[in-house]
Structure 1
Amino acid sequence: MILKKYKVENFRSVLDSGWIDCDNVTTLVGINEAGKSNLLLALWKLNPAREGKIDILHDMPVSKLSTYRKTPKDIKFITAEFELDDESIKNIETEVECSLQGDKSVTVARLYDGSYIFEFPSGNPVSKKIEKVTKEVEEDEESIEEDVIVPYKDADLENAILAELPSFVYYSNYGNLSSKIYLPNVIKWLKGQTVDGIDINEEQVRTLRVLFEFVKLDPKEILELGKDPKEMAMLRNGRNGENQPTAEEIRKAENDKEERSILLQSASGDLTKRFKEWWKQGEYKFRFEADGDYFRIWVSDSVRTDEVALELRSTGLQWFISFYLIFLVESQERHKGAILLLDEAGLTLHPLAQKDLAIFFDNLSKGNQIINTTHSPFIVDTSNIDKCRVVYMDKDGYTVASSNLRQGSDALNEKSIYAVHAALGLSVSDVLLQGCQAIVVEGPSDQFYLNAIKGFLIREKLIAPEQEIVFVPSGGVKGVPGVVSMISSKADDIPYLIIDSDKSGEDAKKRLLSGLYKGFEDRILDVKDYAEIEKSEVEDLIPFALIKKGIDRLFNSLDEIDFEDNYSKDTPVVAQIETFAEANGIELEKGWKVGISMAAKAQLKNKKADSLPQDYVEKWTKLFNAFL
């Protein structure tokens, strides 16, 4: 079951978050105290993998507590829509003996009394359970048998859905590992016992647990394998007896220590190899060592070849190795298939390491959906900026989430969205620092479309760029000179510009050709030369089937009129949308094109060449070959 979207209501600082669309990785961006954590905590309590108890006193909004606490069975705090895969549908229908009527989705809500509400788009499933019932026929005073459909029990349906529902795992503190671990204490902590005079938090215990799961040894076994032969003799003879070991005890101790050494060496090599795939800030080598009652972690790298204890390396490296082990072990074993909720991950990392963390999330999401919160622009994936949701406080101080990444007039919204805008600015520095090829486009909707097309063409092996292609939005044609000056390292290094063929685009093109782009006419790529429509915009390079979903959302208030009935592929689609909206009294909000482009990008992600009109694929290939 895939989480498609969710909504938080009546939970702490959230009165109504609005629907939050979810992808394989979804990033909630906002300032401190905006309420990002509350959007994770409420979702966690829908179906927590562990803990996650509903706490009415602290979970209900303070302003509503005196009223809501009296009727917890009536108050929802979380609603989520899931997409059912074929296996889930089969399991539910088999368990309950029902038909879901072809529904591929289900909405699950949880109330403060802990109960659930389930809704299907086509209504409740239909029972398929049939029993023969004997009926008396009055006229003949005979009995006959009839097949009767027996309704399923709601509790059975609830249990069947909950059995398929992914669990949610919430992470906030990651418990950095120490490099010198005293095994007798660890044995007690892992049993839930305390050690006099030593405080250790739950997250540190959790990290220790996954560490020993990774090395495939428990602390007690490590101690046993490292036992000195004299200690064996003392155990045999009593503490006050002879401590002279026998030849057999000496031989056993040697074999045990050799076994332990080989196992730790194997685990060290495995961690070194696998860690290298994720951490790009240097080539690190780890070595696990057991010395008496202590378990040690040593670290070296290609620059500093001398081994030092883990705790003497950077806080960022300590954090990442702890974080990495937790997810490597728990997501693949204990929490396989769970949805991971990561609160402010990676803030102690260097900015470049934070960028690597975004790659780590993307790889991890192949097995687990991820929702993470951040206020760092370095963790925002600029190639998939449509996966970001801005979190801010409304005028009454309640938490709201929005897919609208445009900067509004509200001061709090401007601060919350800063990380997204800063991330877009950092994509410019990527061009300067990492030798990417920059293509200037007018706005974020163009960026979404062209990034999606780039991914498609590379997947289908229709292009093979030698450099990373970065589409840099200029904020409209007026912003082109400023962006070009930022990303041009020298006067003759003018980037390509993809420009709309509408009136503002044509006017801007004339100005640029007489100024900044004089002598570089071939660097301005006019959309009409590829869309083959006069006054066209980037939207005209996209098949209607990919933008229809986004357009339908604009006009979902119109019951009997469909935009598609009036659509013509021979004229610019943006102008058609604006005309249709005006004719039907619909006011298009500022930046409406972004929503359509995000929907199109999501659909194109899984498309194959044979599922798209060939003429559009040829247009895309022609456009990209113009600047490759």
Structure 2
Amino acid sequence: MKLIRFRVTNFRSIKDSTWIDCSDVTNIIGINEAGKSNALLALWKFNPTDKAEINLLEDLPRNEYSSLKNSCQELPFIEVVFRLEDDDELLKNLIKITGRRKEELSDIHLKRFYSGKYSYNFPYEETITELPSKEFITYIEEKTNAISKISTESKVEKHYKAIVESILNGYIDELQQKDKIDKNLLQEFISNTENTGAKPGAKSEIQPIVNDVLKYFREQMELLSRPRIWCDEVWKQVFSLMPNFVYYSNYGNLDTEIYLPHVIDNLERNDITGVAAAKVRTLKVLFDFIGLNPKEILELGEDGVNLSQDEIEKFNKKKEERTVLLNSASSKLTKEFKQWWKQGNYVFDLRADGKFFKIWVSDEKRPEKVVLEARSTGLQWFLSFYLVFLTQTKTNLKNTIILLDEAGLSLHPLAQKDLLAFFKNLATTNQIIHTTHSPFLVDTNNIDSVKIAYIDNDGYTVISNDLRANSDPKRDTSVYAVHAALGLSVSDIMLNGCQPVIVEGASDQYYLNAIKTYLIASGLFKPSKDIVFMPAGGVKGVSAIASIVSAKGELPYVIIDGDTSGTSFKDKLKKDLYKEEDHKLICLKDFVEGLEAVEIEDIIPFNCISKAIDRLFRSVDDFEFDEVYDSKKSLLSQIEEYARMNRVLLPKGYKVEIAKFAKQKIINMSEKEKEVDVWIKIFEQIK
């Protein structure tokens, strides 16, 4: 069950965030006070792992509080859409419960309201209100012909035959005047067929045929009367298996010295908010982890004065037990933390000293124990986050969506890059959504996963999938982290000897990055340098980018589509910039035989891309693109031709959306498709 998009409305600074697409690791960037944190908090309160109360005073938009506070119970503040894959346990259960096709159940749209209640629906649920008349006419004609061939001897049977034929022919006449049959007309047919006004003969051969017609009508009526996918058992399954949300911010970092009386007091309060609440939450997690009550630790830390001999012995045993428990917790924390943090081999020592609880740290380079506060804030952040995540997921590190606010901001840039790699590893079993304004935490290989948060003209937070959404030059600082990250990426290419390859557009970049990952993972390609694909925004941008990249080195390779504009541009480059190095101009047409205009989609296995195409044509009844697809023609031209024929308006950037969908399919291919040989030839030419 995967979160594919979300939308926040009427929550704190957010009037309407707009729908935000989500991937395995989604990054929301923006300046301070842009409202990034509010988006995460709304998501967290959708289905939190711990107690996250909906607080009207804090969560309602402050400037609309008076008008909404008494009427907001039926107001949704968060909407999410989950997608179920074929092997998902929930999908299998829902198919059994509802009897519906998996295509109808693939997406679930849920809302949570300020009342705390939920609602849900299935966007692709088939609600049939009409059926094609043509199928009914064909069936009734078949049955009428069968009846006409039956010879009748008795007057009763002859009369019955005449009445039935008249009724059925009447149905045909009426249906020929209509394209569709609805529930009311079908019910009329059923009633008339049940009550013909004539009796069949004792051994009637016609009556069984009439019964067949009735059975057919009733089966079709079941389709028109089918209830919505909404029942207690469905909701029980959805609620029990949907992911939990874990939220963590820098404000929850553990203090090095914890004053137990304050901890005890704060853990019992319900009125703490903001930074203090984040601290209390992490402290609760810490004491849950070590398995001790802070009251007990405080009592055991007091001096055992004015006690009898028996009381002293009991007191000493309790203190000894506390020491054993703390040593055990220290060992457990040290061992398990090593699995997460690769920046050092740390040893933790949890100690209680009077009214204070302290965390001491040592490592191989600095074996002397020092308090946590004396170590880096990065280590404090990672330890605190680790405890929160581990405790709230009950060590079941699956089916969780992790929300990290300004993750690892205090880490060194190299450690931030390690954190990004850690996110990718953790995302194999848990999705991650994190906010940042650090360029080191922007994944330039997956720019499609980066979203921008900015403040609109009315002062509300907007989040967009389009990094150009905030185009006002006075406020374009929101996307600065991406610009900086791309600059760093280009610098890395120059400094670290990577192989830059220019491609025409973003869709080419998605496909080729996925192909690269697949070939390397399959052992079919072993590059001497890392290959970085740089989109030029069309053939017109190739020359400019090639000139910039080659300013400090050799001309980069260029991959060009084999359509008319691509081949003509290749000829132009051969005469100009690439006059001496035309072998670096790679035209896809040279690798595919039989196609006139070869584009990147034509070298992608059709089974990796077909479902994404089907989604473009959901409005067309009974459509599956593989039924009309011709492998001897360019794929994009077929998509656009079919859209024109069916009056389907293809969305702007539809090629990029198809590429995003196909990317993971390519990486996860289990069998070697015929297109792989083409991929190898292209990459070997780059190598």
TM-score, length-scaled by structure 2: 0.70
Cα contact 1:392–1:416 (8 A) shared by 2 = yes
Aligned to 2:241: 164
Instruction: Tell me how far 1:446 sits from its aligned partner.
Output: 1.1
Alignment: residue pair count: 581
| Deviation digits for residues 402-451 of structure 1 (CA, Å, limit 9, x no counterpart) | 43345674558854444334433332223234443333323222111111
Aligned to 1:616: 675
Q: In the alignment, is residue 236 of structure 1 matched against residue 274 of structure 2?
A: no
Aligned to 1:274: 339
Q: In the alignment, is residue 520 of structure 1 matched against residue 591 of structure 2?
A: no
Cα contact 2:254–2:283 (8 A) shared by 1 = yes
> 2: CA distance between counterparts of 1:123 and 1:65?
39
> 2: CA distance between counterparts of 1:60 and 1:616?
53
Q: In the alignment, is residue 116 of structure 1 matched against residue 118 of structure 2?
A: yes
Name the amino acid aligned to 2:110: V
Instruction: Tell me how far 1:216 sits from its aligned partner.
Output: 5.7
Cα contact 2:290–2:325 (8 A) shared by 1 = no
Name the amino acid aligned to 1:285: Y
Alignment of 1:294-313 (within 5 A): 295-300=357-362, 307-313=369-375
Instruction: Tell me how far 1:498 sits from its aligned partner.
Output: 1.9
Name the amino acid aligned to 1:22: C
Instruction: Tell me how far 1:345 sits from its aligned partner.
Output: 2.1
Q: Of residues 535, 557, 562 in structure 2, which corresponds to 1:501?
A: 562
Alignment of 1:70-469 (within 5 A): 71-72=71-72, 74-84=74-84, 86-88=88-90, 99=99, 102=102, 103-120=105-122, 121-122=124-125, 154=231, 157-182=234-259, 186=263, 201-214=276-289, 235-237=307-309, 259=324, 263=328, 266-267=331-332, 269-270=334-335, 273-277=338-342, 282-288=343-349, 290=351, 292-293=353-354, 295-300=357-362, 307-333=369-395, 337-393=399-455, 396-406=458-468, 409-411=471-473, 414-469=476-531
Q: Per the alignment, do residues 517 and 534 of structure 1 end up closer, same or farther by CA in structure 2, a change over 3 Å counting?
A: same
Q: In the alignment, is residue 542 of structure 1 matched against residue 604 of structure 2?
A: yes
> 2: CA distance between counterparts of 1:59 and 1:233?
50
Cα contact 1:27–1:372 (8 A) shared by 2 = yes
Instruction: Tell me how far 1:536 sits from its aligned partner.
Output: 2.3
36-45 or 66-75, larger mean C-alpha shift: 66-75
Aligned to 1:135: none
Secondary structure, aligned partner of 2:386: helix
Instruction: Tell me how far 1:616 sits from its aligned partner.
Output: 0.8
> 2: CA distance between counterparts of 1:539 and 1:153?
39
Secondary structure, aligned partner of 1:78: strand
Cα contact 1:428–1:472 (8 A) shared by 2 = no
Q: Per the alignment, do residues 409 and 555 of structure 1 end up closer, same or farther by CA in structure 2, a change over 3 Å counting?
A: farther
| Deviation digits for residues 546-582 of structure 1 (CA, Å, limit 9, x no counterpart) | 3344445555566699876765433443455556666
Secondary structure, aligned partner of 1:203: helix
252-261 or 165-174, larger mean C-alpha shift: 252-261
> 2: CA distance between counterparts of 1:255 and 1:74?
55
Secondary structure, aligned partner of 1:461: coil
> 2: CA distance between counterparts of 1:458 and 1:77?
44
Q: Per the alignment, do residues 437 and 296 of structure 1 end up closer, same or farther by CA in structure 2, a change over 3 Å counting?
A: farther
Q: Per the alignment, do residues 591 and 417 of structure 1 end up closer, same or farther by CA in structure 2, a change over 3 Å counting?
A: farther
Cα contact 2:500–2:531 (8 A) shared by 1 = yes
> 2: CA distance between counterparts of 1:255 and 1:399?
54
| Deviation digits for residues 166-223 of structure 1 (CA, Å, limit 9, x no counterpart) | 33333334422233345566566556699xxxx9923223333434455566667777
Amino-acid identity (%):
46
Q: Per the alignment, do residues 357 and 47 of structure 1 end up closer, same or farther by CA in structure 2, a change over 3 Å counting?
A: same
Secondary structure, aligned partner of 1:201: helix
> 2: CA distance between counterparts of 1:602 and 1:455?
10
Instruction: Tell me how far 1:236 sits from its aligned partner.
Output: 3.2
Secondary structure, aligned partner of 2:346: strand
Secondary structure, aligned partner of 1:390: strand
> 2: CA distance between counterparts of 1:234 and 1:90?
67
> 1: CA distance between counterparts of 2:71 and 2:545?
56
> 1: CA distance between counterparts of 2:10 and 2:538?
40
| Deviation digits for residues 236-289 of structure 1 (CA, Å, limit 9, x no counterpart) | 3499xxxxx99x999x79976984685366346415632443xxxx43433415
Cα contact 2:573–2:579 (8 A) shared by 1 = yes
Secondary structure, aligned partner of 1:464: coil
Q: Per the alignment, do residues 212 and 385 of structure 1 end up closer, same or farther by CA in structure 2, a change over 3 Å counting?
A: same
411-420 or 204-213, larger mean C-alpha shift: 411-420
Which of the two has greater helix per residue?
2
540-549 or 441-450, larger mean C-alpha shift: 540-549
Secondary structure, aligned partner of 1:349: coil
Alignment of 1:463-612 (within 5 A): 463-484=525-546, 487=549, 491=553, 493-532=554-593, 533-552=595-614, 554=616, 567-577=629-639, 591-610=653-672
Q: Per the alignment, do residues 64 and 510 of structure 1 end up closer, same or farther by CA in structure 2, a change over 3 Å counting?
A: same
Q: Which runs of 5+ in 1 are unaligned?
A: 125-150, 240-244
Cα contact 1:427–1:472 (8 A) shared by 2 = no
Name the amino acid aligned to 2:280: V
> 2: CA distance between counterparts of 1:306 and 1:50?
36
Instruction: Tell me how far 1:605 sits from its aligned partner.
Output: 3.8
Cα contact 2:297–2:322 (8 A) shared by 1 = no
> 1: CA distance between counterparts of 2:482 and 2:379?
26
The two structures, once aligned, show a CA RMSD in angstroms of: 4.5
Aligned to 1:49: 49
Secondary structure, aligned partner of 2:307: helix
Cα contact 1:539–1:573 (8 A) shared by 2 = yes
> 1: CA distance between counterparts of 2:639 and 2:456?
31
Q: Per the alignment, do residues 488 and 208 of structure 1 end up closer, same or farther by CA in structure 2, a change over 3 Å counting?
A: farther
Q: Which has the larger radius of gyration?
A: 2
Name the amino acid aligned to 2:588: V
Aligned to 1:138: none
> 1: CA distance between counterparts of 2:37 and 2:498?
35
